[in-house]
Amino acid sequence: MATLTKSNRTFGAISTLKVVNKIEATVASFHAWQSAYQTKRVLRKLSARELEDIGLSRADIEMMFQK
């Protein structure tokens, strides 16, 4: 029979919450990146005329997605 020592105790509620929060933040960050990537991809496919119709230029697209 195994004994529970201080070094192999399971996570407490606060530690578990911190891990879950980190995972949720990572997933949210990925979704935001994915959405921005898709938007940038669609905008890059537009012609200069189509971009002009919506008030954008190629330079505007690059500036929107710079970090």
The domain limits of the chain are 13-64
Residues 4-13 pLDDT 10s: 555 556 668 8
8-state DSSP, 46: S
DSSP codes, 13-58: HHHHHHHHHHHHHHHHHHHHHHHHHHHHHHHHHS-HHHHHHTT--H
Residues 44-61 pLDDT 10s: 999 999 999 999 999 999
8-state DSSP, 12: -
Contact 61, 40 (CB under 8 A): yes
Whether this model's pTM surpasses 0.75: no
